[in-house]
């Protein structure tokens, strides 16, 4: 067994791992990176990049359905061939992945290992029982993997999001299990491309907790594709050329669907198996993710850090990169630790309309109120037909949560056309500790999506000024 010595070892070459490696290198510290799976980040292979490209293709195909609303007449019915959509996505993906590969291959081979790593103790690990790596600090960035339930695992040919983007052609009908970010985006994209889609999920949609937003989101999304969130699956069976799905609907009636394909998109699980983490003192959360100090990115073993999906499953790539950067910085400077600046949560699902959570969710606001006696108000604003936007459809709903004492916006949940623009502006506002007084006076551009923020702020001010603080 050969031995490699370094100051810092990075496990995983995804978004967080690559950023951590770059940061360690920038500090002049010797570093080894271990590739654990397919080259290229999950975001590039089966996450944000291909999903956004698929949604763009779906919206382009769907646009014709709205021509009549704008007075555009079509002379004949269009006939579309979507067989090359996935191939087109893979071509774009390959170009994006090549940048990652070129960076990795510039790393000397003795500093770039491949295989599964297993910790022996807090300063030693083994890669594939072939290479012993001695280190002072380590950063775990092993990411996450799509979960397949037991019921799904016994079926033949069930796909995860990873396998879907490797298909030669898109099935004519697909059942997607999971109203997650991936499940909703994938389902709507395929429906817009003309695929017969059924998305099954729980009553909740994604991570939304505000019942008012959930209600609007369900109404708007289910009008665009088949979304079943109040159903109970009784059985899924393999049949010739597809799957038989039996379920009880929201009216307690038993129903049956035949679908050519089935995609599991229920959740993701952290990649922590086989690394011997708990034996060396690293604690895990109930969902299997690594427990970390959110400020320092340290695990329960001080010289071992973690970043990315392995400690926060399914978080945005930008957050994974930021965590990787600060984990790398602290690992390189250890034992001198720098706290990571607090970041405002910005979570977005690029469906049509967009779903978003900014700052604290409604449930988190309630927990904050119970724990710290911090009172808040909820301001709900409906984006009515044509209001603030030069569009011809209802725009959704925005709910913002405002602290009674400071008048600062602390969070928001959104289901709205242009919700990503609204969410970005609100995130910046929360970061800068803007009050509803500030936002009510800000001159948002007319007909912009963001203008709804001013209306929400004015409504919040009206409520705050209508009663004494102790009555709110």
Residue-wise pLDDT tens digits, 349-390:
999 999 999 999 999 999 999 998 899 999 999 887 555 455
Mean pLDDT of 51-70: 82
Q: What was the pLDDT predicted at 387?
A: 52
**C-alpha–C-alpha distance, residues 380 and 414, integer Å:** 10
Enumerate the CATH 3.30.390.30 domain ranges in the chain, comma separated: 346-471
Q: What was the pLDDT predicted at 8?
A: 96
Q: What was the pLDDT predicted at 104?
A: 79
Q: What was the pLDDT predicted at 147?
A: 85
Q: What was the pLDDT predicted at 438?
A: 94
pLDDT band at 156 (very low <50, low <70, confident <90, very high): confident
Q: What was the pLDDT predicted at 391?
A: 56
Mean pLDDT of 327-334: 96
Instruction: State which fold the 2-37+115-144+269-333 domain adopts.
Output: FAD/NAD(P)-binding domain (3.50.50)
H helix or E strand, kind and range, residue 369: helix 362-372
**C-alpha–C-alpha distance, residues 208 and 414, integer Å:** 9
* Nearest alpha-carbon partner for 139 in 323, 273, 279, 269: 323
pLDDT at 78 over 70: no
Q: What was the pLDDT predicted at 333?
A: 94
Enumerate the CATH 3.50.50.60 domain ranges in the chain, comma separated: 2-37+115-144+269-333, 150-267
Beta strands in 252-337 (DSSP E): 254-259, 261-264, 268-270, 304-306
DSSP string, 431-452: HTT-BHHHHHHS-PPTT-TTHH
pLDDT band at 310 (very low <50, low <70, confident <90, very high): very high
Joined together, the tokens standing for residue 40 give: 């290229």
Question: Percent of the chain at pLDDT above 70?
Answer: 93
Q: What was the pLDDT predicted at 93?
A: 84
Q: What was the pLDDT predicted at 317?
A: 82
Q: Span 346-471: which CATH code? A: 3.30.390.30
Mean pLDDT of 25-47: 81
Q: What was the pLDDT predicted at 152?
A: 81
pLDDT band at 106 (very low <50, low <70, confident <90, very high): confident
Counting Cβ atoms within 10 Å, is residue 379 exposed (0-12), middle (13-18) or buried (19+)? buried
Q: Span 150-267: which CATH code? A: 3.50.50.60
pLDDT band at 77 (very low <50, low <70, confident <90, very high): low
Helices and strands in the chain: count of H runs, count of E runs: 13, 24
Mean pLDDT of 302-328: 90
Mean pLDDT of 15-26: 93
Torsion of the alpha carbons at 220, 226, 229 and 233, rounded to the nearest 10: 180
Mean pLDDT of 229-246: 88
192 or 103, which is more confident: 192
**C-alpha–C-alpha distance, residues 277 and 281, integer Å:** 7
Q: What was the pLDDT predicted at 401?
A: 97
Mean pLDDT of 236-252: 88
Q: What was the pLDDT predicted at 75?
A: 65
Lowest mean pLDDT among 150-154, 329-333, 468-472: 468-472
- DSSP lists the bridge partners of residue 282 as none
pLDDT at 284 over 70: yes
Q: Give yes or no for a cis peptide into 408 (omega within 30° of 0).
A: no
For residue 418, which phi and psi values (nearest 5 degrees)?
A: 75, 20
- Vertex 166 angle, CA 182 and 60, to 5°: 60
Mean pLDDT of 442-468: 87
390-438 pLDDT tens trace = 555 667 899 999 999 999 999 999 999 889 999 999 999 999 999 999 9
Question: Mean pLDDT over all residues of the chain?
Answer: 88
């Amino acid at each position: 067994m050969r031995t490699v010595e370094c100051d810092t070892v990075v496990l995983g070459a995804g978004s967080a791992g690559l950023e951590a490696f770059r940061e360690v290198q920038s500090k002049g510290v010797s570093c080894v990176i271990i590739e654990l799976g397919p080259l290229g980040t999950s975001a590039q292979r089966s996450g944000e990049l291909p999903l956004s490209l698929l949604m763009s293709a779906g919206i382009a195909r769907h646009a014709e359905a709205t021509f009549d609303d704008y007075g555009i007449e079509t002379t004949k019915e269009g006939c579309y061939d979507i067989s090359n959509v996935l191939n087109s996505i893979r071509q774009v993906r390959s170009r994006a992945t090549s940048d990652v590969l070129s960076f990795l291959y510039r790393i000397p081979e003795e500093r770039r290992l491949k295989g599964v790593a297993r910790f022996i103790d807090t300063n030693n690990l083994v890669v594939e029982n072939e290479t012993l790596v001695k280190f002072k600090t380590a950063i775990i960035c092993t990411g996450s993997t799509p979960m397949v339930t037991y019921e799904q695992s016994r079926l033949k040919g069930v796909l995860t999001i990873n396998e879907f983007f490797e298909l030669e052609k898109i099935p004519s009908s697909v059942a997607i299990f999971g109203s997650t970010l991936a499940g909703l985006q994938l389902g709507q994209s395929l429906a817009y491309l003309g695929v017969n889609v059924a998305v099954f999920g729980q009553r909740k949609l994604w991570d939304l907790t505000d019942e008012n937003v959930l209600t609007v989101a369900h109404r708007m999304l289910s009008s665009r594709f088949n979304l079943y969130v109040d159903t109970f699956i009784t059985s899924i069976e393999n049949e010739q050329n597809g799957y038989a799905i039996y379920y009880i609907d929201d009216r307690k009636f038993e129903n049956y669907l035949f679908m050519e394909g089935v995609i599991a998109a229920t959740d993701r699980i952290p990649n922590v198996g086989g690394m011997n983490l708990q034996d060396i003192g690293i604690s895990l959360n109930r969902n299997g993710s690594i427990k970390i100090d959110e400020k320092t990115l340290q695990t329960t073993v001080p010289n071992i850090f973690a970043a990315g999906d392995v400690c926060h499953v399914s978080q945005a790539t930008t957050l994974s990169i930021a965590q990787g950067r600060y984990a790398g910085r602290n690992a390189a400077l250890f034992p001198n630790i720098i706290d990571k600046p607090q970041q405002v949560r910005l979570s977005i699902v690029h469906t049509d309309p967009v779903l978003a959570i900014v700052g604290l969710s409604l449930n988190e606001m309630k927990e904050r109120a119970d724990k710290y006696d911090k009172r808040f108000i909820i301001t709900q604003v409906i984006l009515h037909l044509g209001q603030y936007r030069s569009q011809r459809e209802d725009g959704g709903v925005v709910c913002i949560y405002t602290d009674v004492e400071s008048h600062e916006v602390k969070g928001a949940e959104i289901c709205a056309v242009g919700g990503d623009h609204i969410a970005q502006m609100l995130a910046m506002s929360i970061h800068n500790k803007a009050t509803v007084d500030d936002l009510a006076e800000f001159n948002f551009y007319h007909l912009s999506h963001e203008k709804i923020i001013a209306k929400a702020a004015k409504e919040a001010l009206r409520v705050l000024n209508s009663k004494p603080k102790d009555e709110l």
